[in-house]
Every structure is written in structure tokens, then in C-alpha cells.
Amino acid sequence: MIKSFFKKMVGGDESPPRKPHHKIGWSWLGAFLGIYVVSVLNDLLNIGTLNSAFLVGSFGASAVLIYGAPQAEFSQPRNLMGGHIISAFIGISVYQYIPLDIQLLSALAVSLSIVAMHYTGTLHPPGGATALIAVIGSDDIHGLGFLYLISPIAIGAFAMLIVALLVNNLSSNPKRHYPRYWL
């Protein structure tokens, strides 16, 4: 039993080949523009760059998915928007209403977010980071309370979605389109 357990860790498949240059270029363009748009929104709302509520770390991971793997299930608009919003709600709620230490709150926020995203069909891996940031974030993030859900999360994810719709559909390649589905 132990031997078969460890044998699973060996793998067996070959690594996929590197993506072609043109796919890498589209990924770069989308990620650059998406994060740039979120940064510009940050400046327009006069939020300091060092204390940037808009530049949530989980958006970097979302950029990898929606620009680098736009056909993946985790990258679809339902997953992007729903995963971040549901996870933000859970992270805020856990932090504000459950009197436990930060380690337990962190684990609870991420694990409950995964369960909720599974049940709602909105699994988006960066959502786990969004929930975690709501718990371990700065006093400024905590001070936002449920406004964290709107700004930076919903507005930032929506801005990245708009860029994904524009950039991922610029290519003349019929296989590069976004999204595969909405709901």
C-alpha cells in the first residue's frame, strides 16, 4: 500500500512541448495590458502604489490563466468573476466574524472558498489567494470590510475580463478565442 502510494508520485506522462511564439506573444500582451489597466485604475482612485488595494496578488495568477490559458475551464468569465467574488466574501466573513487565530482563519478562508467555488461551478485557483489576502492583508484591506468585494476585487477582475475579451479575440487564429462559455 505504501509502495503504491509513493509510485503515484513518480508520474509517467511526458511534459508538454513549449507553446509556439505567437501564443506566448498573445499571453504577454494580455497580461501586460490587464495588469496595466488595473494599475491605472489604482492611480485614478488615488490609491498609493505601495499600499495598492487594486493590485491584489491574486490578479497576477488570474492573468496567467485568462491570458496564458484562455481555453482552460478555470479561465472562463464565470470562474474568474465568481471565484474572486465568492472567495473575497468568504475571506472577509471569516476574518470579521470568527474569533480564531490568524493561522486557523487563513486555512478556513481558503478551504471554505475552494468548497464554495466547487459547489457554484466557479473554481478559479487565484480565488484562494483572494480569500487569504482578505484574512492576512493589511489594516487598509481589513478596513475596507465588504467593500473589498467591490473594490478592488470585482472591479479589478472585471477590468481584466474586458482586456481578456479584447486581446484574446484579436488573433486571426480561430482556435484562439475567449470565452468558451459564459454560464
* pLDDT tens per residue across span 142-181: 999 999 999 889 999 999 999 999 999 998 888 889 999 9
For residues 66 and 98, give the distance between their C-alpha atoms in angstroms, rounded to a whole number: 33
- pLDDT beyond 70 at 77: yes
For residues 80 and 59, give the distance between their C-alpha atoms in angstroms, rounded to a whole number: 10
For residues 153 and 97, give the distance between their C-alpha atoms in angstroms, rounded to a whole number: 20
- pLDDT beyond 60 at 183: yes
For residues 181 and 173, give the distance between their C-alpha atoms in angstroms, rounded to a whole number: 18
Segment 86-90 mean pLDDT = 98
What cell numbers appear for 98 in the block? 470568527
Asked whether the whole model's pTM tops 0.95, one would answer: no
- For all residues of the chain together, what is the average pLDDT? 91
* pLDDT tens per residue across span 10-35: 888 888 899 999 999 999 999 999 98
- pLDDT beyond 70 at 40: yes
Which single residue is written with the C-alpha cell 465568481? 82
- Please tell me the least confidently modeled range out of 34-48, 110-124, 129-143: 34-48
3-state SS of 59-91 is: HHHHHHHHHHCCCCHHHCHHHHHHHHHHHHHHH
From residue 20, alpha-carbon distances to 17, 24, 27, 73, 124 in Å are 9, 6, 11, 21, 25
Residue 49: per-residue pLDDT: 46
